[in-house]
Every structure is written in C-alpha cells, then in structure tokens.
C-alpha cells in the first residue's frame, strides 16, 4: 500500500490506496457499513443525525444518484472551462466517497454517514486526474466554491484537498465564510513520508480546522502529515483510519475502500453538523443562544479540543493535534 503521488496543479488529493468494487447487493456490506461511525462512538442510537443541517463538499464532484445518496445531494461545477455533461459528475470517485461519509442515508443498505439526515452541496473543484497539471486558477475555482457555499446556506465546508501554496483569494473567501458563521474543515495531508513538517493549504489557514489521521488503534497514522510546535492549530484533531471501511463510489450500488486524511476530514465535517444541530436545539429550547459569525468556528474549535481523547498522552502534538475524536452522547453540547 502506498500513498498516491498525484499532483493536481498546485493541489494534491490527500488520499491513498483505494479498492473500487461494484456491489450488486448493498446489503452485503453490513459487516463494514458503519465501522467508522461505531468506532467514533456515533452509532445508530446517537441522539443527533444532522437534521436541518447542510454541508458543502469541495472535491471531484459526486454521483448524486448513488443509492445511499439519492435525494441527499445537489451538485454544481466550479472548474473553469469544464464542458462535461453533467459538469458536476464525479469521474474520480474521491468526491462521492467523501460526500457519503457525511450524508449517506440510514436505508438498511450500503454504508451510513455520520450525519445521515443532513444534506450536501457537492462543489466540483477538481477533475481528479492529469488534467489538473495544466489547469489555470485552481485557487480561484475553489474560492468561488467557498463563496457559493455561503449562498447555499451551508453550515460546514469540507475540503479533502490541499497544496503547498497560500492563496489570497482562498484566504479571503474562507474569512467571508467564517464571518457568515460557517465552519471550514480541511485535510492536513498525507506527506509524512516526504518529510515533516509540511505546510498544506487550506488546512494551514487559521480559519480552518485541520484534520489529521489516526490508525485503527487511535495512534498516529503512518502517512498523516505532521504539524509544527509553533503552529498548534495544525493539526487540531484526528480521526481513525478508514482502512476497513467501505464508502460510496460512482454507480448505483458501487462502493470502495479508501484511506487517508481525505477520509478523516469529512468525519469531522459531519461531526460539526451534529454539533450545530445540538446547539440549534438548545437555542430553540431557550437554553443557550446559537453563536453568530466567527464565534461559531471558535466555539466549535474549543469544543473539539475539550472532547478530543489524548490517546498518545502527549497533550497537543504534531501528529494527532489535541487528540482523536471518540465521542460519547454526553460530549455533545448541553445547557
């Protein structure tokens, strides 16, 4: 198993080894369908499901007709000059997997997302192949997608992508999103074997929650990019590897396995939806006002640091951030 070395212009998809299979009977995945959610502590009886929440997923598109995603997802294209029909379709499978981790329905088949009652806005910003090498303003395309998420009333933005260069346009777009009360989440990257620390954007922006990966034993994953001591916000939180977890792929009943910080990121994005749902419930009951503007991100960030489990007993460290996300229902916001 090896980390993919695909360079997409200035961007790398932070994923790795994948196995794509077409499953004729989605019920056959019952053994693995909720491995990740169960490992995180978010089982079928978890009190929040993402009801009333919406996430923007910036990636390679999505097959919105996949059996677990039908009716949950809308799609749009932000790749300048893309003339494919439909332009938001996913030819790579990376985006479909990430969307499914968040909103795949509880339909007794296939896989289950962390926030199965939420909806998703799939913003296609990458082809996911060699065409990225000659593309123009990738940062501009991603920036436009971020701004579209504001108009789409997304409460969270999930970005399983990254590159070594900072961008003024993307930084500004993310600041506008945070001002609008959105929680941006991005992958720390899979560059550990290339040398650490490695700065990956948008994960390195202070307006973004940076997500690392842990292995199935909740220790640092061998591929997950390390942060630096003078930038304690990178990484901030880790999620167990999805090596043994099936996810959605393009096709009515297609599924695949993936592993990487790309797969950890949507899990945190989905938990952000659950957090928003819990806070909205408290506000509706008159127990605790819902934060506004940048306070949404800052309060979610403080909550993450509080509930993260310090599995390697290091406090904050450059491998797992503040720890691994392993939840109990009592960890959710309460009055």
Lowest-pLDDT range of 24-38, 76-90, 272-286: 24-38
Give CA–CA dist 84/67, Å, rounded.
23
Does 187 have pLDDT greater than 50?
A: yes
Torsions phi, psi for 234 (to 5 deg): -140, 110
Mean of the pLDDT values across residues 216-237? 80
Phi (first) and psi of residue 282, to 5 degrees: -65, -40
Greatest mean pLDDT among 27-36, 147-156, 222-231: 147-156
Would residue 194 show up in a list of annotated catalytic residues for this protein? no
Per-residue pLDDT, averaged over 204-231, amounts to: 87
Q: Up-side HSE of residue 157: CA atoms within 13 Å toward CB?
A: 37
Q: Look at residue 197 in the predicted model and tell me its pLDDT.
A: 64
The closest alpha carbon to 325, from 281, 250, 269, 245, belongs to 269
Q: In this predicted structure, what is the pLDDT of residue 7? A: 30
What fold characterizes domain 15-331?
Rossmann fold (3.40.50)
| Sequential DSSP letters for 161-211 | -BBSS--HHHHHHHHHHHHTT-EEEEE--S-GGG-S----BTTTSTTSEEE
pTM above 0.95, yes or no: no
Q: So what's the pLDDT on residue 129?
A: 81
3-state secondary structure of 79: coil
Q: How far is CA 119 from CA 18, 88, 154, 264, in A?
A: 25, 16, 9, 19
Annotated active-site residue in 262, 264, 317, 331:
262
| 4 given a catalytic annotation | no
What pLDDT is attached to residue 241? 63
15, 59, 90, 317: the catalytic one is 59
32-84: pLDDT as tens digits? 677 778 888 998 889 999 999 999 999 999 999 999 999 999 999 999 999 88
| 59 classed as catalytic | yes
Residue 163: pLDDT band (50, 70, 90) is confident
Contacts by residues 129-133 (CB-CB < 8 Å, ≥ 24 positions apart): 129/91, 129/92, 132/6, 132/7, 132/8, 132/9, 132/11, 133/7, 133/8, 133/9
pLDDT of residue 22: 61
For residue 234, the Cα-to-chain-centroid distance in whole angstroms is: 16
Alpha helices by DSSP H, listed for 34-126, are: 35-40, 94-103
Residue 321: beta bridge partners? 317
Burial state string for 13-25 with b = 16 or more CB within 10 A and e = fewer than 16: bbbbebeeeebee
At 196 the pLDDT is 63
User: Counting every residue, how long is the chain?
Assistant: 335
Are residues 116 and 29 in contact, defined by beta-carbon separation less than 8 angstroms? no
Q: Dump strand ranges (E) for the chain.
A: 7-8, 11-12, 18-22, 54-59, 73-77, 119-124, 156-159, 183-187, 209-214, 237-240, 246-249, 254-258
What does the alpha-carbon distance between residue 72 and residue 120 come to, in Å, rounded to a whole number? 6
- pLDDT above 90: residue 23: no
For residue 274, is pLDDT > 90?
yes
Catalytic residue among 15, 39, 94, 160: 94
């Amino acid at each position: 198993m090896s980390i993919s070395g695909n360079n997409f212009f200035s961007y790398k998809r932070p994923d790795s080894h994948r196995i794509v299979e077409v499953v004729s009977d989605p019920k056959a995945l019952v053994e693995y369908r909720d491995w990740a959610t169960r490992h995180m502590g978010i089982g079928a009886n978890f009190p929040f499901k993402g009801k009333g929440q919406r996430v923007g997923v910036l990636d390679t598109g999505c097959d919105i007709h996949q059996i677990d995603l039908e009716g949950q997802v809308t799609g749009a294209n932000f790749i300048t000059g893309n003339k494919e029909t439909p332009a938001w379709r996913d030819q790579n499978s990376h985006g479909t997997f990430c969307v499914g981790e968040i909103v795949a329905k509880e339909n007794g088949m296939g896989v289950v997302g962390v926030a199965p009652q939420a909806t998703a806005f799939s913003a296609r910003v990458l082809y996911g192949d060699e065409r990225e090498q000659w593309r123009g303003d990738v940062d501009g395309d991603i920036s436009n997608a971020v701004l579209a998420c504001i108009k789409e009333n997304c409460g969270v933005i999930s970005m399983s992508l990254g590159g070594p260069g900072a961008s003024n346009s993307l930084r500004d777009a993310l600041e506008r999103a945070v001002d609008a009360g959105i929680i941006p989440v991005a992958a720390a990257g899979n560059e550990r074997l290339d040398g650490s620390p490695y700065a990956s954007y948008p994960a390195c922006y202070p307006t973004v929650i940076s997500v690392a990966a842990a292995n199935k034993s909740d220790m640092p994953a061998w591929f997950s990019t390390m942060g630096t001591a003078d930038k304690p916000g990178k990484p901030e939180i880790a999620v167990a590897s999805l090596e043994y977890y099936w996810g959605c792929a393009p096709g009515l009943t297609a599924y695949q396995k993936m592993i990487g910080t790309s797969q950890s990121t949507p899990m945190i994005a989905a938990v952000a939806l659950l957090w928003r749902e819990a806070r909205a419930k408290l506000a509706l009951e008159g127990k605790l006002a819902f934060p506004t503007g940048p306070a949404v991100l800052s309060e979610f960030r403080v909550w993450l640091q509080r509930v993260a489990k310090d599995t390697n007993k290091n406090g904050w460290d450059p491998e797992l951030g503040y720890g691994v996300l392993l939840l109990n229902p009592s960890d959710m916001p309460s009055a």
